[in-house]
Amino acid sequence: MPELNPDRELDRLLGFHETPPADAFVLEVMHRVQREQRVRRLILSTFGLIGAAFGVTGALLLSDPIAQVFTNLPLTGTMQAVLVAVAAVAFYGWIMNEDISLVT
């Protein structure tokens, strides 16, 4: 009786015997992934815009009480400069996904 080569027997036991999935399966999975990514982007954009709207509303509501603190300064210019600066930093942090730390 011929002796089986252990390496060949091991290769036969560990070999992949199924045929790979068809292209249709791969395409279906990729379409599902793309759809989920679109849904995720839509959800994040929607809630981001809602948050931005609340932020702008809060800034508008607080602009008069805060302006009274700076009575010796030109009110409109100072508040507009501060709001634009804060909005620019917030927008940059949101777009670039940056963590702004006060300690470097």
Q: What is the 3-state secondary structure (H, E, C) of the chain?
A: CCCCCHHHHHHHHHCCCCCCCCHHHHHHHHHHHHHHHHHHHHHHHHHHHHHHHHHHHHHHHHHHHHHHHCCCCCHHHHHHHHHHHHHHHHHHHHHHCCCCCCCC
pLDDT of residue 52: 92
pLDDT of residue 1: 46
Domain borders along the chain are 24-96
pLDDT of residue 85: 93
Tens-digit pLDDT string for the chain (104 aa): 455 566 777 777 777 667 666 788 888 889 999 999 999 999 999 999 999 999 999 888 887 776 676 666 776 777 788 899 999 988 888 888 766 665 55
